[in-house]
A and B are shown apart, each in its own frame.
Chain A
Amino acid sequence: MSKDLSINLHHITRVEGHGNIVLDTKNGKIEKLQWQIPEAPRFFEAMLKGRHYDELRPITSRICGICSIGHSLASLKATEDALGVEISKQSALFRRLAINGENMQSHILHVGYLAVPDLFGVGSVFPLVGSKNEGALKKIVKLHRISNEMSDLICGRTTHPIRLQVGGFSLLPNKKQLVKLKDDLQVALKTSQEVAEVVSTVAENFPNFSRETEYIALKSDSEYAFYDGEIASTDTGIHSDPKKYESIMKEYIVPQSTAKYARHNRESYMVGALARFNLNSSQLHPNAKELAKMFNLEAINFNPFMNNVAQLVEFVHNIEDSILLIDKLTNNGLKPEKPVKVKNTSGRGIGIVEVPRGILVHDYTIKNKKCVKANCVIPTNQNHANIQKDMEEFVPQIIDKPKEKIELNLEMLVRAYDPCISCSTHYLDVKFVNS
């Protein structure tokens, strides 16, 4: 079908004038199709220079309000690697609880408040209140609340944590609090299955689109990797030397974007829940595996929209994993521990963790306790090229649809990645109701 189209979707995120989808077609032929995005996190790297190693975590936790725990953990791992610190086994278990809490917070927020309204065809979370789906929304809010309370308990805050320190934790929850958390998580496990059943009734509304690409995530022999592991690719297998991360996450510049794109074995790759699922699904806990089956999600799945489903699967996995971690901690007997002291004052360290949107690297060089060089590889930047390539293959498949439907599908595609580019400032821009 011959068709002229001009789509310019500004403010896919709310960064001024950026985060845009531009599509121009003439006689049904694509003349311009761009995912335009601004760079932001690089400024934070400059802010780390000259700072004492104790300041690096609090600063980097402000890079993102949704992934502040993940940035904190990557920062601590890099600092501890540089300064020869080995945390206790107990601290490592608590850090796994912390990363589970954040992943749960972020995933249920994304699936519940963004993907579910798309599936119900209502545009935003607001119309769900008072609709026949309000019950499902209230369950989602309940799950989000439990996830936040878990982060609060383990990290001292829901956002921008304060208890995570170089060498361990400044304060730990007691046994009674952990037992209560376990009870809440057991309720959440049941509730999450009820939510999944509701989502499964409308999952057919995810566009049926697949594009073969490379997936990169951490991989571990002992667990579905979030906190520890080696960099792995669905194309090239395990890359065990973390210092060579830059040869895997190869960044490059494109004209339409001030944010760098990234590639490895192909012209683009994807990170995030679907990447982790594609690499590690055999290590999911039982209920999470059942949930994946319910949605017919099997590795390797090349549909980026299924990232939403992979997030739901991971949400359940994180609950099951947290229950096991609490059992381990309480069975071992909680020990009062102070953070382990640093051994060295200089060195280079690399911290790699999985945050909700994918693999995150912090790389610090510290001299005489001060940071002299920092590099942070952010998941969203790694996904930009993949979003662009997805669009290039997706648009010809939907070009005959009405313009509004094309716009919605392209927005849904971007939303499936939930790009993190706009949370570094939160000032309010307002008008008065009666003006």
Chain B
Amino acid sequence: MKRIGVIGIGNPLRKDDGIGIKILEHLILKKNDLSDDIEFIDGGTGGMNLLHQLIKFDIIFIIDAVNFNKKIGDMEVFDAKNLESIKPSITKSTHCADFLSVIEVSKRLGEAPDKIFIIGIQPSDISFGNNISPELENKVPIYVEKIFLEIKKQISNLSDDLSN
């Protein structure tokens, strides 16, 4: 049986940085319509502590605010292999580790699965505050539906792989 992890990352007290957690909360409400083998994780700002989540799964979806220079509120699904962080890596402080660094360490240890998808949403404002920007807030139902379908698609691909 393949295991699927859905990890929301970010800080709900830094406005749009909390979009990953917000979407995760909505997805949890729909979990009965998905496979039993999905675990939903509020990764918050755990940084390198999330290293130990990656080893548990065969497919991982990470939902996070991502600056990929698109229009505010745009959402895209990336294969983690195609992304490189332009932030400093975990060389200065344990508080520096962004999730791409965590994936890198996990891969080098031979632990991370091959299939890691980053679902990125272009933020507008990551200053202090507990409200998501309206441009993103209004789209939350759309994000949730799209991600729900993406997870279903991957589950279906997995089933095909297993039956072939």
Give the B-binding residues of A (Cβ under 8 A).
11-14, 19, 43-44, 47, 59, 62-66, 68, 105-106, 109-110, 113-114, 117, 123-126, 129-130, 137-138, 141, 144-145, 148-149, 157-160, 411, 414-415, 418-434
Contact = CB atoms under 8 A, between A and B. Distances in A.
Contacts of A59: 13
B88 A423 contact: no
A149 B109 CA distance: 19
A160 B21 CA distance: 12
- Nearest first, the 9 closest Cβ-Cβ pairs linking A and B are A65-B45, A159-B46, A43-B128, A427-B65, A423-B95, A129-B108, A425-B14, A160-B44, A124-B91
Given A11-B88, A159-B45, A427-B67, A66 B95 contact: yes
A14 B96 contact: yes
Q: Which of B10, B99, B128 has the most chain A CB atoms closer than 10 A to its own CB?
A: B128
Given A159-B45, A160-B44, A425 B11 contact: yes
B22 to A, nearest CB: 13
Contacts of A14: 87-88, 92-93, 96, 98
15 contacts: A47-B129, A62-B12, A65-B45, A66-B46, A66-B49, A114-B93, A126-B89, A138-B109, A144-B49, A158-B49, A159-B46, A159-B50, A422-B93, A424-B11, A424-B128
Contact of B128 (A47, A125, A138): A47
Given A65-B47, A129-B108, A430 B86 contact: yes
B33 interface: no
A411 B92 CA distance: 7
B96 A159 contact: no
A418 B66 contact: no
Interface centre among B43, B91, B130 (most CB of A within 10 A): B91
Interface in B1-49: 9-14, 16-17, 42-49
Q: Which of A43, A158, A419, A432 has the most CB of B within 10 A?
A: A158
Contact of A430 (B16, B84, B92): B84
B104 A159 contact: no
Contact of B49 (A11, A109, A414): A109
Interface of B is mostly: mixed
Interface string B83-116: 1111111111111101110001100110000000
Interface in B63-79: 64-68
A13 B95 contact: yes
Contact of B104 (A64, A66, A126, A157): A126
Contact of A418 (B43, B82, B94): B94
Contacts of A420: 93, 95
Interface stretch (B118-126, B134-142, B149-157): B118-126
B47 to A, nearest CB: 5
B13 A65 contact: no
Contact of B64 (A13, A145, A427): A427
Given A13-B95, A428-B67, A430-B68, A159 B13 contact: no
B90 A62 contact: no
Contacts of B95: 13, 64-66, 418-423
B93 A158 contact: no
A332 to B, nearest CB: 31
B66 A109 contact: no
Given A65-B44, A65-B46, A138-B109, A415 B92 contact: yes
Interface of B: 9-14, 16-17, 42-53, 64-68, 81-96, 98-100, 104-105, 108-109, 118, 120, 123, 126, 128-130
A138 B106 CA distance: 11
Contacts of A429: 66-67, 85-87, 98
Contacts of A434: 82
A428 B96 contact: no
Contacts of A64: 45, 95
Of B42, B49, B129, most A-chain CB atoms within 10 Å: B49
A141 B11 contact: no
A425 to B, nearest CB: 4
A150 to B, nearest CB: 12
B13 A427 contact: no
A414 B91 CA distance: 12
B7 to A, nearest CB: 11
Contact of B47 (A43, A44, A125, A426): A426
B109 to A, nearest CB: 6
Nearest to B10: A426
A64 B9 CA distance: 13
Given A124-B89, A415-B92, A159 B49 contact: yes
A424 to B, nearest CB: 6
B70 to A, nearest CB: 11
B125 to A, nearest CB: 11
